[in-house]
Structure 1
């Protein structure tokens, strides 16, 4: 899988260290993630184009919560 090899493909930052990984099939799937250091990627949320705004807000909140706990 390309992500396992460090190739994140089509990504866009959405703010506060969170990025969106886009897939161009089906309803436009998206995965929201953040990185810690060079190796750890934490999946925060996922969805499709129809729930994008709500999913980004959730991912940003979860990233902030994670940062506060670490």
Structure 2
């Protein structure tokens, strides 16, 4: 990603998530949550929560590739959960 402003905003959003403030996010199915970053191309970060403490980052992208990014995040989440059993 070349957009330095977008990089900074994404890092800031991830710091907020780390502090427990999830802000603008929406479940997209199968336990995957989409965190929206309103800058540039409309960046998205996908994550899952396990228990009360763990937030696992799965993938990211922008609005243009949203469907593929969600599919990929769901695959990563499913694979991670399968390895936990």
What TM-score do you get using the length of structure 2 for normalisation?
0.79
- 5+ residue gaps, structure 2, are 1-14
Judging by fraction of residues, say which structure has more helix.
2
| Larger RCO of the pair (alpha carbons < 8 Å, separation 6+) | 1
Q: Number of residues paired by the alignment?
A: 70
1:49 aligns with 2:42: no
Q: Which runs of 5+ in 1 are unaligned?
A: none
Which of these two proteins has the greater Rg computed from alpha carbons?
2
Aligned to 2:22: 8
Give the RMSD, CA atoms, in angstroms: 0.7
Which portions of structure 1, spanning 4 or more consecutive aligned residues, are displaced by more than 4 angstroms? none
- Give the TM-score normalised by structure 1: 0.95
